[in-house]
Structure formats: structure tokens, C-alpha cells
């Protein structure tokens, strides 16, 4: 089992980022699935790309401070790629105008010892790239919505 923690800083106040992420992820049936395309990773001349299906559902923070989301992803169409199980949380940063998206969880490299060797060579980088892409996508959505809200405030009479 390999542990993964990635963070992405978002230029948006913490409370606003929480609200916008919840609005983006809270579907009527409690889960949301979408496809996230992963670009080729190191080494750059090796074509490694895989779509993953991401499922998100509301988690529970026993301290009632943050709003965690349970996150899983599996390779679209199956195959010898790892799945992921973890949490996505919006955290406060030192700067009032910045929030931190944090993805924390684990995955098991498939194929036993061969998979573990692949994970050491390239798989861990692929998992990191997947997490970075997911956080960047979510962060871009939050920033765009926040900018639109701020523009609407300035345009209001």
C-alpha cells in the first residue's frame, strides 16, 4: 500500500472555497463520478496516459471543522492500474485569500511484486500526476466561480 498526499493552493478565501467546492461536488444522489484524463508522465518521451473514473461523496469530520469528501478513483475500463481511496479537504492557509485543497489517501499497486517495482519506477509518479490534475481541475473551477462572484458584486448597482 502506498500513501499519497498532495496539496494545491487556491486564490480564494477558505470559507468561500469550501462553499464553492461543496456546490461543485454535492450532486442530488450523494455521489459524483467524472473522467479525469491523465497526461503522459516522466519520462516525457514515454506515452503513459489513462482516464480514471472519480467518485466523490460527503465525508464526516469528527471535529466539525473541515468538510472532507471521500474520494475514490479507478481506471476507466479496468486494466493493471491502481485504484485510490482517500479524502479531499479544503483547509485554511496562513493568507486569508488562499485556501488549500488537500488530497490524502492510499493505493495498492496491482500485479504484486511486479506492480511494486513499477510503482517505484513510474507508478508513484503517475499517481501523483493524477492527484495533481484532480486538484488543479477542482481549484480552477473554484477560482473561476469566485472570480465570477466578485465581478458580479462590482457590477451590481
Q: What is the pLDDT of residues 77-101, one digit of tens each?
A: 877 778 889 999 999 999 989 999 9
CA-to-CA distance for 70 and 65, rounded, in angstroms?
A: 16
pLDDT digits (tens, 9 = 90+) for 97-153: 999 999 999 988 887 888 788 777 777 887 888 888 889 999 999 999 999 999 999
DSSP state of 119: I
The structural domains of the chain, with segments of one domain joined by +, span 2-155
* Residue 27 and residue 110 in contact, taking contact as beta carbons nearer than 8 Å: no
pLDDT of residue 134: 86
* Residue 66 and residue 53 in contact, taking contact as beta carbons nearer than 8 Å: no
Range 2-155 has CATH code 3.30.110: no
pLDDT of residue 61: 86
CA 113 to chain centre: 27
* 30 — pLDDT class (breaks 50, 70, 90): low
DSSP state of 79: -
CA dihedral 86, 92, 98, 99 (to 10 degrees): 20
- Which residues on neighbouring strands pair with residue 87, listed in sequence order? 70, 104
pTM over 0.85: no
Amino acid at each position: 500500500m502506498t500513501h499519497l498526499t498532495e496539496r494545491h493552493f487556491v486564490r480564494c478565501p477558505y470559507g468561500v472555497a469550501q462553499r464553492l467546492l461543496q456546490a461543485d461536488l454535492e450532486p442530488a444522489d450523494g455521489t459524483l463520478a467524472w473522467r479525469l484524463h491523465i497526461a503522459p508522465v516522466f519520462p516525457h518521451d514515454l506515452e503513459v496516459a489513462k482516464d480514471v473514473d472519480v467518485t466523490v461523496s460527503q465525508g464526516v469530520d469528527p471535529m466539525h471543522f473541515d468538510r472532507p469528501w471521500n474520494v475514490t478513483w479507478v481506471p476507466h475500463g479496468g486494466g493493471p492500474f491502481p485504484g485510490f481511496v482517500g479524502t479531499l479537504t479544503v483547509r485554511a492557509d496562513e493568507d486569508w485569500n488562499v485556501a488549500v485543497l488537500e488530497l490524502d489517501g492510499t493505493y495498492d499497486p496491482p500485479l504484486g511484486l511486479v506492480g511494486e517495482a513499477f510503482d517505484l519506477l513510474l507508478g508513484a509518479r503517475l499517481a501523483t500526476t493524477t492527484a495533481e490534475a484532480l486538484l488543479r481541475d477542482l481549484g480552477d473551477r473554484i477560482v473561476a466561480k469566485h472570480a465570477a462572484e466578485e465581478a458580479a458584486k462590482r457590477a451590481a448597482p
